[in-house]
Structure 1
Amino acid sequence: MVEKTKFNIDFMNLRHIFTVVSIALVLISAVSLATRGLALGLDFTGGTLIEVAYDKAPDLANVRQELAKAGFEDAVVQNFGTDKSVLVRLSAKYDEKLVTRVLGILNAYQDKVTLTRAEYVGAQVGSQLKEDGGLAILLALAVVAVYVAMRFQFKFGIAGVVPLVHDVIVILGFFSVFQWTFDLTVLAAILAIIGYSLNDTIIVADRIRENFRRLRKGDAAEIVNISINQTLTRTLNTSGTVMVVLIALFFFGGKMIHGFATAMIIGTIVGTYSSIYVAANMLVGMKVTREDLLVPVKEGANGEEEQPPDWLNRM
């Protein structure tokens, strides 16, 4: 019995168009990354770190505004420990005159600002962070490939990993094309999106596998369409709930997590899209069949064919 659904959208009818869209997005992202690169934040490039203490808790937005007026548009301002302790990070190389100038700007905005420490954070740490971050992404993709291939089938393994690579490249492409600052919060968002996109892909793949075994009629495209429509309500509810939170963070979360919220919003949209028009599309393109999903028959000790238990074929 086929599960009823209020949706009856022919997603696979447009799969060739969206294949071109996906390829174009990946190519644009790859070219931009190769030619323009990423606008790396202070977490990766290094810079000057200045910690100051206030008598009264300052308004961080005003502190950023005053520094921007003085020419420090890229200054990262955040509380450190307490609301009276403020950490200012600048991309400029450490210099005592620079520290004195920043203190003068802060004192002009609010009296009784005391310097706690001032030091230079080298790019060596940033280089290690870049290597570790790239390794984390590659390791996550490798583990996902093994997991999906073991849980489903080889074709599903490919269709599970390619969308994740697609999502990562497209997110990085947006940050490269628009030269948005790429820092550790954005890297964390990308790793989170890998998990989110994988979860969405697994839900769709699980329903496709189930319908291949339950439905007696229909080719791969028809069964994939039915499966996507059956899971569409769940997908829209999940994505919609996540987007409400992310939009709130984007507008009201402050500058420190602005990049994280931006990457997550893009990743949520792209991840939902790729579950349909990359993962499911690839399964149709690779011509997955019922036979691909059946547990192979083994010969018993007496030479007779030994049928797998029903529960195994229902997995």
Structure 2
Amino acid sequence: MRLRLVPQDTNWDFMQYRHWTFGASLVAMVGAIAIWLIVGLNFGIDFLGGTTIRTDSTQAVDVGAYRDAIAPLELGDVVISEVFDPTFAPDQHVAQIRIQAQEGAESVTPETIAAVEAALQGVDPSITFPSVESVGPKVSGELITTALIAVAASLGAILIYIWLRFEWQFSVGAIAALIHDVVLTIGVFSLLQIRFDLATIAAILTIIGYSINDTVVIFDRLRENLIKYKKTPLIDVMNRSVNETLSRTLMTSGTTLLALVALLVLGGDVIRGFVFAIFWGVIVGTYSSVYVAKNVVLMLGVDRDPKQPDAGTQFGAVDA
């Protein structure tokens, strides 16, 4: 006896509220873009250029005292934040100090870093500096360009693959769903001001791969059903296809989310932004596979010629 997350004969009408869900997706995308433009992203050191110093001490972090100690060095924009993590020891207090790249310099000089460390040790003699990361403005600019190219190239490759694998309507629907996922992820990062760095770009690429995998599974079942049910309305065939793949979708998404929750709680602050991006992406990616990709295909329609006895779709002869 096999365990099933949903009954085998499930027949939920997923497309019943397609207008509301698609409209909500459009509103969410517009809102995400607006937040992005107004608030901006909390870029990490990878994209801004500068230096991040991580401190570790047995004494409680006093952000005000740290700031007062660094202020005489006149380093411009300095962001000091305490880092909390359930894996830290009771007497372990961690802070992160971000110093902007100095004008006319590729990165903060070793002398400046030494001066900052000396100033902080004057406040707390027990303080240590487990890591120091520096990125120059020129390098950070190149990283932004490379990241954009990576995301655009992945979307372009997926567009071509889906077009060849299925048909152009399916390709447009898949890309619309992926753009939806990427925009909402960036919007959430902007709203919550979570650090946006190269790890986040890697997470976005992972989200794209996860989302398109779920979309292709449903598309493949949809193609089979369009051949099998030639005269059934397209919307009914879509509902049938989603119901038939629902157990697989829930099992895959559910087990992935369980692992991600464990990483969010126990993984530490270093990978928290990366894990959160994937966690959020799994949720919106599962949603968009049904309520964005399928909505777009439904609006574009599929050529199904009833005069041809062997034609269920215009791609009916394509080998799976």
Give me the TM-score of the superposition, normalised by structure 1.
0.78
**AA in 1 matched with 2:300:** M
- Describe the shift of the 1:282–1:42 C-alpha distance in structure 2 as closer, same or farther (beyond 3 A): same
Residue 33 of structure 1 is aligned with which of 27, 32, 36? 36
Cα distance per residue 1:73-105 (max 9 Å; x no partner): 34899xxxxxxxx9x762344364653342453
Q: What does 1:11-90 correspond to in 2, within 5 Å?
A: 11-48=14-51, 62=57, 66=61, 68=63, 70-71=66-67, 73-74=80-81, 90=98
Q: What's 1:276 paired with?
A: 290
Residue 169 of structure 1 is aligned with which of 183, 200, 211? 183
Q: Do 1:41 and 1:182's aligned partners in 2 also have CA atoms closer than 8 Å?
A: yes
Q: Do 1:63 and 1:106's aligned partners in 2 also have CA atoms closer than 8 Å?
A: no
Q: Do 1:246 and 1:261's aligned partners in 2 also have CA atoms closer than 8 Å?
A: yes
Q: Do 1:66 and 1:109's aligned partners in 2 also have CA atoms closer than 8 Å?
A: no
Q: What's 2:214 paired with?
A: 200
Return 5+ residue gaps in structure 2 as ranges: 1-6, 68-78, 85-93, 103-107, 306-311
Identity %: 34
Farther-moved stretch of structure 1 (166-175 vs 66-75): 66-75
| CA distance, structure 1, for counterparts of residue 38 and residue 231 of structure 2 | 49
**Residue 247 in 1 paired to residue 261 in 2?**
yes
Q: What's 1:81 paired with?
A: none
| CA distance, structure 2, for counterparts of residue 64 and residue 224 of structure 1 | 60
**AA in 1 matched with 2:313:** L
- Describe the shift of the 1:295–1:286 C-alpha distance in structure 2 as closer, same or farther (beyond 3 A): closer
Farther-moved stretch of structure 1 (282-291 vs 124-133): 282-291
Q: Do 1:200 and 1:275's aligned partners in 2 also have CA atoms closer than 8 Å?
A: yes
Q: What's 2:12 paired with?
A: 9
Secondary structure of the structure 1 residue equivalent to 2:17: helix
| CA distance, structure 2, for counterparts of residue 76 and residue 128 of structure 1 | 29
Higher helix share: 1
Q: What's 2:76 paired with?
A: none
Q: Do 1:50 and 1:99's aligned partners in 2 also have CA atoms closer than 8 Å?
A: no
Cα drift, residue 47 of structure 1: 1.4
**Residue 137 in 1 paired to residue 151 in 2?**
yes
| CA distance, structure 1, for counterparts of residue 151 and residue 51 of structure 2 | 28
Give me the TM-score of the superposition, normalised by structure 2.
0.77
| CA distance, structure 2, for counterparts of residue 115 and residue 243 of structure 1 | 31
Cα distance per residue 1:12-55 (max 9 Å; x no partner): 0010000111000110011122222211111111112569xxxx
**Residue 110 in 1 paired to residue 117 in 2?**
no
Farther-moved stretch of structure 1 (91-100 vs 200-209): 91-100
Secondary structure of the structure 2 residue equivalent to 1:247: helix
Secondary structure of the structure 1 residue equivalent to 2:200: helix
| CA distance, structure 1, for counterparts of residue 194 and residue 254 of structure 2 | 25
How many residues align structurally? 279
**AA in 1 matched with 2:18:** R
Q: What's 1:211 paired with?
A: 225
- Describe the shift of the 1:124–1:284 C-alpha distance in structure 2 as closer, same or farther (beyond 3 A): same
| CA distance, structure 1, for counterparts of residue 62 and residue 205 of structure 2 | 32
Residue 192 of structure 2 is aligned with which of 174, 178, 187? 178
- Describe the shift of the 1:244–1:115 C-alpha distance in structure 2 as closer, same or farther (beyond 3 A): closer
Q: What's 2:114 paired with?
A: 99
